[in-house]
Structure 1
Amino acid sequence: MTRRKAHPPSTYSMIDVLLASQTEPMPAAKRVLQLTRMWQGLASIERGQAPTIDDWRICSDAVNLMETLICEMKVCQDSSGLLDDATAALASACRRHRDSKTIRLDASGIQAVRAVLEDYAELLEQLPARTVIQAHRLTEQRIREILAGRKRPKDVEVMDL
Protein backbone atom coordinates (compact mmCIF):
# COMPACT_ATOMS: atom_id res chain seq x y z
CA MET A 1 0.00 0.00 0.00
CA THR A 2 1.38 3.42 -0.93
CA ARG A 3 0.74 6.57 0.97
CA ARG A 4 -0.52 9.64 -0.74
CA LYS A 5 1.25 12.88 -0.10
CA ALA A 6 -1.05 15.28 1.68
CA HIS A 7 -1.12 18.60 -0.05
CA PRO A 8 -1.14 21.77 2.00
CA PRO A 9 -4.58 23.13 2.80
CA SER A 10 -6.00 25.75 0.48
CA THR A 11 -5.65 29.37 1.50
CA TYR A 12 -9.33 29.97 0.79
CA SER A 13 -12.33 27.64 0.88
CA MET A 14 -15.41 27.71 -1.30
CA ILE A 15 -17.20 29.33 1.65
CA ASP A 16 -14.66 32.18 1.45
CA VAL A 17 -15.52 32.59 -2.23
CA LEU A 18 -19.25 32.71 -1.54
CA LEU A 19 -18.89 35.15 1.36
CA ALA A 20 -16.55 37.51 -0.51
CA SER A 21 -17.89 40.69 -2.02
CA GLN A 22 -18.84 40.57 -5.68
CA THR A 23 -18.33 44.31 -6.03
CA GLU A 24 -15.86 45.57 -3.42
CA PRO A 25 -12.11 44.84 -3.35
CA MET A 26 -10.54 42.78 -0.60
CA PRO A 27 -10.29 44.64 2.70
CA ALA A 28 -7.33 47.01 2.77
CA ALA A 29 -5.64 45.15 5.63
CA LYS A 30 -5.57 41.90 3.64
CA ARG A 31 -4.30 43.65 0.51
CA VAL A 32 -1.55 45.43 2.45
CA LEU A 33 -0.46 42.22 4.19
CA GLN A 34 -0.25 40.27 0.94
CA LEU A 35 1.50 43.02 -1.02
CA THR A 36 3.92 43.77 1.81
CA ARG A 37 5.05 40.14 1.88
CA MET A 38 5.49 40.14 -1.90
CA TRP A 39 7.45 43.40 -1.96
CA GLN A 40 9.62 42.22 0.94
CA GLY A 41 10.36 38.99 -0.91
CA LEU A 42 11.42 40.89 -4.01
CA ALA A 43 13.52 43.33 -1.97
CA SER A 44 15.28 40.42 -0.30
CA ILE A 45 16.05 38.82 -3.66
CA GLU A 46 17.27 42.16 -5.04
CA ARG A 47 19.36 43.39 -2.12
CA GLY A 48 19.16 40.97 0.79
CA GLN A 49 22.20 39.35 2.33
CA ALA A 50 20.73 35.85 2.07
CA PRO A 51 17.42 35.66 0.20
CA THR A 52 15.40 32.61 1.15
CA ILE A 53 13.37 30.11 -0.80
CA ASP A 54 10.29 31.68 0.80
CA ASP A 55 11.24 35.05 -0.74
CA TRP A 56 11.42 33.35 -4.13
CA ARG A 57 8.15 31.49 -3.55
CA ILE A 58 6.18 34.59 -2.61
CA CYS A 59 7.34 36.32 -5.81
CA SER A 60 6.49 33.17 -7.77
CA ASP A 61 3.04 33.17 -6.16
CA ALA A 62 2.43 36.70 -7.42
CA VAL A 63 3.47 35.74 -10.94
CA ASN A 64 1.33 32.59 -10.80
CA LEU A 65 -1.67 34.59 -9.59
CA MET A 66 -1.24 37.03 -12.44
CA GLU A 67 -1.03 34.13 -14.88
CA THR A 68 -4.35 32.82 -13.55
CA LEU A 69 -5.97 36.25 -13.83
CA ILE A 70 -4.68 36.67 -17.39
CA CYS A 71 -4.86 33.19 -18.91
CA GLU A 72 -7.57 31.38 -16.97
CA MET A 73 -9.95 34.07 -15.81
CA LYS A 74 -9.21 36.57 -18.59
CA VAL A 75 -9.87 39.59 -16.36
CA CYS A 76 -6.81 41.39 -17.76
CA GLN A 77 -4.23 41.10 -20.53
CA ASP A 78 -0.47 40.90 -20.86
CA SER A 79 0.14 42.59 -24.18
CA SER A 80 3.81 43.31 -23.44
CA GLY A 81 4.86 39.75 -22.51
CA LEU A 82 5.97 40.72 -19.00
CA LEU A 83 4.42 37.61 -17.51
CA ASP A 84 6.61 35.32 -19.61
CA ASP A 85 9.65 37.46 -18.80
CA ALA A 86 8.93 37.29 -15.06
CA THR A 87 8.38 33.53 -15.23
CA ALA A 88 11.66 33.04 -17.08
CA ALA A 89 13.47 35.31 -14.60
CA LEU A 90 12.21 33.36 -11.59
CA ALA A 91 13.10 30.04 -13.24
CA SER A 92 16.58 31.43 -13.93
CA ALA A 93 16.89 32.54 -10.29
CA CYS A 94 16.00 29.01 -9.23
CA ARG A 95 18.70 27.54 -11.47
CA ARG A 96 21.17 30.10 -10.14
CA HIS A 97 20.23 29.04 -6.62
CA ARG A 98 20.96 25.41 -7.47
CA ASP A 99 24.36 26.35 -8.89
CA SER A 100 25.61 29.01 -6.50
CA LYS A 101 23.24 28.72 -3.53
CA THR A 102 22.18 32.38 -3.88
CA ILE A 103 18.77 33.37 -5.21
CA ARG A 104 19.17 36.43 -7.42
CA LEU A 105 17.45 38.01 -10.40
CA ASP A 106 19.31 39.74 -13.19
CA ALA A 107 18.45 43.35 -14.08
CA SER A 108 15.82 42.48 -16.68
CA GLY A 109 14.37 39.87 -14.31
CA ILE A 110 14.05 42.44 -11.54
CA GLN A 111 12.25 44.79 -13.92
CA ALA A 112 9.86 42.06 -15.11
CA VAL A 113 8.99 40.75 -11.65
CA ARG A 114 8.65 44.30 -10.29
CA ALA A 115 6.30 45.22 -13.15
CA VAL A 116 4.16 42.12 -12.56
CA LEU A 117 3.96 42.94 -8.83
CA GLU A 118 2.93 46.51 -9.65
CA ASP A 119 0.22 45.24 -11.99
CA TYR A 120 -0.98 42.76 -9.38
CA ALA A 121 -1.14 45.54 -6.77
CA GLU A 122 -3.29 47.63 -9.12
CA LEU A 123 -5.60 44.70 -9.79
CA LEU A 124 -6.02 44.01 -6.06
CA GLU A 125 -7.36 47.52 -5.62
CA GLN A 126 -9.81 47.19 -8.51
CA LEU A 127 -11.02 43.60 -8.64
CA PRO A 128 -13.83 42.34 -6.44
CA ALA A 129 -12.69 40.24 -3.50
CA ARG A 130 -14.53 37.23 -4.91
CA THR A 131 -12.50 37.36 -8.13
CA VAL A 132 -9.21 37.56 -6.23
CA ILE A 133 -10.14 34.64 -3.98
CA GLN A 134 -11.22 32.58 -6.99
CA ALA A 135 -7.84 33.34 -8.59
CA HIS A 136 -6.07 32.08 -5.46
CA ARG A 137 -8.07 28.86 -5.50
CA LEU A 138 -7.46 28.26 -9.22
CA THR A 139 -3.75 28.98 -8.83
CA GLU A 140 -3.38 26.57 -5.92
CA GLN A 141 -5.29 23.93 -7.87
CA ARG A 142 -3.00 24.36 -10.88
CA ILE A 143 0.11 24.07 -8.68
CA ARG A 144 -1.26 20.85 -7.16
CA GLU A 145 -1.83 19.51 -10.69
CA ILE A 146 1.75 20.34 -11.69
CA LEU A 147 3.09 18.62 -8.58
CA ALA A 148 0.95 15.58 -9.43
CA GLY A 149 2.59 15.43 -12.86
CA ARG A 150 -0.28 16.90 -14.88
CA LYS A 151 1.57 19.72 -16.62
CA ARG A 152 0.35 21.96 -19.40
CA PRO A 153 2.64 22.93 -22.28
CA LYS A 154 3.53 26.37 -20.86
CA ASP A 155 4.11 25.22 -17.27
CA VAL A 156 7.56 25.76 -15.81
CA GLU A 157 8.28 23.53 -12.85
CA VAL A 158 11.14 24.45 -10.58
CA MET A 159 9.74 23.03 -7.37
CA ASP A 160 12.78 21.03 -6.30
CA LEU A 161 14.47 23.93 -4.53
Structure 2
Amino acid sequence: MLLAVLTGPSQAPAKEIIAGRASVVDGDTIEIHGQRIRFFGVDAPESRQLCQDENGDSYRCGQRAALALSDFIGRATVRCTELYRDKWRRPVAVCRAKRKDLSAWMAVQGWAIADTEYSRDYVGPEAEAKGARRGIWRGAFELPWEWRHRSRGR
Protein backbone atom coordinates (compact mmCIF):
# COMPACT_ATOMS: atom_id res chain seq x y z
CA MET A 1 0.00 0.00 0.00
CA LEU A 2 2.79 2.45 0.89
CA LEU A 3 4.52 1.75 -2.44
CA ALA A 4 1.34 2.71 -4.33
CA VAL A 5 1.17 5.99 -2.42
CA LEU A 6 4.78 6.86 -3.25
CA THR A 7 4.67 5.97 -6.92
CA GLY A 8 1.02 6.38 -7.91
CA PRO A 9 -0.22 8.86 -10.50
CA SER A 10 -1.42 11.31 -7.85
CA GLN A 11 2.18 12.10 -6.90
CA ALA A 12 3.23 15.57 -8.11
CA PRO A 13 5.77 15.42 -10.93
CA ALA A 14 9.37 15.92 -9.94
CA LYS A 15 10.64 19.43 -10.58
CA GLU A 16 13.29 19.59 -13.28
CA ILE A 17 16.68 20.91 -12.24
CA ILE A 18 18.63 22.79 -14.91
CA ALA A 19 22.22 23.57 -13.97
CA GLY A 20 25.32 24.89 -15.64
CA ARG A 21 27.06 28.05 -16.80
CA ALA A 22 24.53 30.68 -17.73
CA SER A 23 24.40 33.33 -20.42
CA VAL A 24 22.32 36.34 -19.48
CA VAL A 25 19.59 37.17 -21.99
CA ASP A 26 18.13 40.04 -19.97
CA GLY A 27 17.52 40.97 -16.34
CA ASP A 28 15.10 38.12 -15.69
CA THR A 29 16.05 35.52 -18.31
CA ILE A 30 19.12 33.33 -18.66
CA GLU A 31 20.14 30.52 -20.96
CA ILE A 32 21.74 27.26 -19.80
CA HIS A 33 22.68 24.54 -22.29
CA GLY A 34 20.69 26.33 -25.00
CA GLN A 35 17.52 26.51 -22.92
CA ARG A 36 16.04 29.89 -21.97
CA ILE A 37 14.85 30.11 -18.39
CA ARG A 38 12.65 32.87 -16.97
CA PHE A 39 13.10 33.87 -13.32
CA PHE A 40 10.10 33.23 -11.12
CA GLY A 41 8.40 36.10 -9.32
CA VAL A 42 10.13 39.14 -10.81
CA ASP A 43 10.02 41.27 -13.93
CA ALA A 44 13.03 43.30 -15.07
CA PRO A 45 13.11 46.21 -17.50
CA GLU A 46 13.38 45.22 -21.15
CA SER A 47 16.71 45.58 -22.97
CA ARG A 48 15.51 48.55 -25.04
CA GLN A 49 13.66 50.19 -22.14
CA LEU A 50 14.77 53.65 -21.07
CA CYS A 51 14.58 54.96 -17.52
CA GLN A 52 15.67 58.25 -15.98
CA ASP A 53 18.40 58.48 -13.38
CA GLU A 54 18.35 60.75 -10.33
CA ASN A 55 19.33 63.71 -12.58
CA GLY A 56 16.58 63.05 -15.11
CA ASP A 57 19.01 61.72 -17.72
CA SER A 58 17.85 58.74 -19.79
CA TYR A 59 19.71 55.44 -19.71
CA ARG A 60 19.04 51.89 -20.91
CA CYS A 61 17.91 50.42 -17.62
CA GLY A 62 17.12 47.01 -19.12
CA GLN A 63 20.65 46.77 -20.43
CA ARG A 64 22.02 47.85 -17.04
CA ALA A 65 19.90 45.18 -15.32
CA ALA A 66 21.29 42.49 -17.62
CA LEU A 67 24.87 43.68 -17.06
CA ALA A 68 24.40 43.68 -13.28
CA LEU A 69 23.10 40.09 -13.41
CA SER A 70 25.91 38.99 -15.71
CA ASP A 71 28.55 40.62 -13.50
CA PHE A 72 27.10 38.95 -10.40
CA ILE A 73 26.87 35.46 -11.91
CA GLY A 74 30.24 35.61 -13.65
CA ARG A 75 31.43 32.05 -14.27
CA ALA A 76 29.51 30.55 -11.34
CA THR A 77 27.29 27.54 -11.84
CA VAL A 78 23.61 28.46 -11.86
CA ARG A 79 21.10 25.91 -10.60
CA CYS A 80 17.43 26.41 -11.53
CA THR A 81 14.44 24.52 -10.17
CA GLU A 82 11.65 24.65 -12.72
CA LEU A 83 8.24 25.50 -11.27
CA TYR A 84 6.19 25.54 -14.48
CA ARG A 85 6.30 26.51 -18.17
CA ASP A 86 5.11 29.89 -19.44
CA LYS A 87 2.96 30.41 -22.53
CA TRP A 88 6.12 30.30 -24.69
CA ARG A 89 7.02 26.93 -23.11
CA ARG A 90 10.05 28.42 -21.34
CA PRO A 91 10.80 27.02 -17.90
CA VAL A 92 9.93 29.49 -15.14
CA ALA A 93 12.26 28.71 -12.28
CA VAL A 94 13.87 29.70 -9.03
CA CYS A 95 17.53 30.05 -9.96
CA ARG A 96 20.46 30.23 -7.58
CA ALA A 97 24.12 31.14 -7.94
CA LYS A 98 26.68 31.82 -5.24
CA ARG A 99 24.08 30.67 -2.67
CA LYS A 100 21.73 33.49 -3.71
CA ASP A 101 18.23 33.35 -5.16
CA LEU A 102 18.76 35.38 -8.35
CA SER A 103 15.20 36.79 -8.37
CA ALA A 104 15.73 38.09 -4.83
CA TRP A 105 19.19 39.41 -5.71
CA MET A 106 17.87 41.31 -8.74
CA ALA A 107 15.00 42.76 -6.70
CA VAL A 108 17.18 43.85 -3.77
CA GLN A 109 19.68 45.44 -6.16
CA GLY A 110 16.82 47.44 -7.69
CA TRP A 111 17.00 45.86 -11.15
CA ALA A 112 13.76 43.84 -11.00
CA ILE A 113 10.24 44.42 -9.73
CA ALA A 114 8.25 41.86 -7.74
CA ASP A 115 5.65 40.36 -10.08
CA THR A 116 2.83 40.03 -7.56
CA GLU A 117 0.50 38.50 -10.14
CA TYR A 118 2.48 35.28 -9.62
CA SER A 119 4.11 35.62 -6.21
CA ARG A 120 4.64 37.92 -3.25
CA ASP A 121 8.00 36.30 -2.45
CA TYR A 122 10.03 39.27 -3.69
CA VAL A 123 7.99 42.19 -2.33
CA GLY A 124 10.38 42.56 0.64
CA PRO A 125 13.57 42.69 -1.46
CA GLU A 126 11.89 45.18 -3.82
CA ALA A 127 10.88 47.39 -0.87
CA GLU A 128 14.45 47.29 0.43
CA ALA A 129 15.79 48.49 -2.95
CA LYS A 130 13.13 51.17 -3.20
CA GLY A 131 13.91 52.46 0.30
CA ALA A 132 17.63 52.54 -0.46
CA ARG A 133 17.04 54.06 -3.93
CA ARG A 134 19.03 51.34 -5.69
CA GLY A 135 18.94 50.53 -9.41
CA ILE A 136 15.85 51.82 -11.20
CA TRP A 137 14.56 53.25 -7.91
CA ARG A 138 17.16 56.06 -8.14
CA GLY A 139 15.03 57.85 -10.69
CA ALA A 140 11.88 57.38 -12.75
CA PHE A 141 10.82 54.35 -14.75
CA GLU A 142 7.85 52.68 -16.33
CA LEU A 143 6.87 49.27 -14.97
CA PRO A 144 8.27 46.63 -17.35
CA TRP A 145 4.86 45.10 -18.16
CA GLU A 146 3.42 48.56 -18.91
CA TRP A 147 6.41 49.40 -21.11
CA ARG A 148 5.95 46.14 -23.07
CA HIS A 149 2.24 46.79 -23.51
CA ARG A 150 2.83 50.38 -24.70
CA SER A 151 5.72 49.34 -26.99
CA ARG A 152 3.62 46.70 -28.75
CA GLY A 153 1.08 49.37 -29.67
CA ARG A 154 3.59 51.32 -31.80
TM-score past 0.5 threshold: no
Tell me which protein shows more strand as a share of its residues.
Answer: 2
TM-score by length of structure 2 reads: 0.30
Tell me which protein shows more helix as a share of its residues.
Answer: 1
Structure label with greater radius of gyration: 2
Which structure has more RCO (C-alpha within 8 Å, separation ≥ 6)? 1
TM-score by length of structure 1 reads: 0.29
